[in-house]
Amino acid sequence: MEPELEKLKEKLNAVILAHYYELDEIQENADFVGDSLALAQIAAKTEADIIVFCGVKFMAETAKILSPEKKVLLPVEDAGCPMADMATKEAVLKKKKELMNPVVVSYVNTNADVKSVSDICCTSANAINVVQSIKENRVLFVPDRNLGEYVKENVKNKTVYLWDGYCPTHEAFGISELEELKNSYPDAKVAVHPESPKAVRDAADFIGSTSGIIDYVQKSADNEFIIGTEEGVLFDMKRRTKNKRFHIIGNRAICINMKKTHLNDLYDALKYGRYEINLNEDIIKSAYEPIKKMISIKRS
């Protein structure tokens, strides 16, 4: 961590979090790097007064929901998630009514108001377990249709209605680009995120969350991998492995919102206390319930 940043951070009793898809300069200067829910959970356990979340808005909101007493800062105000914005609270409630009250399962990649009207949350790592754990037979899965379809393929005894949302970064992975890479690197193992389209998932050796993919390449005896997730993950993968080679599918594996935060934004966030996440108490309380429910299932 840069000494000036460290000083400022200590003076303010802040903790700096960076998602795996952030720029290298941000990941290098964070206290913790990880998936969004894991980071929010880590921050909640710290004694910090301020959480600086280098990521996108829903991630900082989740940190606020888990640590309502702390000040949570998102260094770039308009760093949002297009997929999260594909589901609004009003549209989810309307769909729920139309479908006659299925259980609403929302991916953590949703805005706080959508979580507040959900029955349970899930991550890409536990989505199958979460849906399997539900007693009712009908589920509305929000907002990622690819992750929802993956869940549907793996939970045969439930009706899973899919929301028509997607992550533009993962949706862009094409099977022809993957096949080209497989031809060029025939010994490489393929590890992809479940937000990827079905054809890409079906051609993979491993499907998992971002931290799941990192864990897979780290533990694998293989040395070469084709990766289907946002390219920022390479920073942490390379840091954790020696002499392993990685090839990202296609040339559009960049989430522009995750690349908005630069080192100067991180400094300014601490110096000027910006941009603070403010959620009303009711939203915090009701959005916490589905997260709490998910966490209890994960641990059971």
Among 68, 82, 250, 273, binds ligand SF4 (CB under 6 A): 82
Tokens of 221: 């005896």
Closest to 127 (Cα-Cα) out of 110, 113, 112, 116: 110
Q: Which helix (H) or strand (E) holds 111?
A: none
For the bound state, the minimum distance from the C-beta of residue 11 to ligand SF4, rounded and expressed in Å, comes to 31
**Residue 109 interacts with ligand SF4 (CB under 6 A)?**
yes
Q: Binding string, 194-233, against ligand SF4, x = CB under 6 A?
A: ------------------------------------x---
3-state secondary structure of 229: coil
Does 18 engage in binding with ligand SF4 (CB under 6 A)? no
Beta-bridged to residue 33, according to DSSP, are: 18
Residues 122, 131: Cα–Cα separation, whole Å? 8
In angstroms, what is the minimal distance from the CB of 79 to ligand SF4? Answer: 8
Which position among 167, 181, 237, 287 is part of the footprint of ligand SF4 (CB under 6 A)? 167
- Looking at the Cβ atoms of 20 and 288, the one nearer to ligand SF4 is 20
Query: Does 56 sit near ligand SF4 (CB under 6 A)?
Result: yes
Hey, what amino acid is at 167? Answer: C
Residue 81 within binding range of ligand SF4, rule CB under 6 A? yes
State how beta strands 245-248 and 224-228 pair: parallel
Q: Is 16 helix (H, G, I), strand (E, B) or coil?
A: strand
Q: For ligand SF4, which is the closer residue by CB, 81 or 131?
A: 81
Q: Which is nearer to ligand SF4, 67 or 169 (CB)?
A: 169
- E runs forming strands in the chain: 14-19, 32-34, 50-54, 71-73, 103-107, 120-122, 138-142, 159-162, 189-192, 206-207, 224-228, 245-248
> How many residues bind to ligand SF4 according to rule CB under 6 A?
13
For the CB of residue 21, give the shortest distance to ligand SF4 in the complex, in Å: 6
Among 25, 71, 168, 268, binds ligand SF4 (CB under 6 A): 168
d(CA 182, CA 176): 10
Give the C-alpha separation, 21 to 255, whole Å: 8
CB under 6 A: which stretch of 10-18, 78-86, 196-204, 211-219 binds ligand SF4? 78-86
Please name which of 26, 20, 74 lies closest in space to residue 51, comparing C-alpha atoms: 74
Stretch that binds ligand SF4, among 124-132, 148-156, 250-258, 264-272 (CB under 6 A): 250-258
Taking CB under 6 A as the criterion, the residue among 15, 255, 266, 287 binding ligand SF4 is: 255
- Is residue 124 close enough to count as binding ligand SF4 by CB under 6 A? no
**Tokens standing for residue 245:** 């080679």
Contact between 83 and ligand SF4 by CB under 6 A: the answer reads yes
Smallest distance from the beta carbon of 196 to ligand SF4, in angstroms? 11
Phi, psi of 249 (to 5 degrees): -70, 130
Q: At a CB cut-off of 8 Å and minimum separation 6, what does 138 contact? A: 99, 102, 103, 158, 159, 161
Nearer to ligand SF4, 39 or 48 (CB): 39
Q: Tell the smallest beta-carbon distance from residue 262 to ligand SF4 (Å).
A: 17
250 binds ligand SF4 (CB under 6 A): no
Residues within the interface to ligand SF4 (CB under 6 A): 21, 56, 81-83, 109, 167-169, 230, 255, 257-258
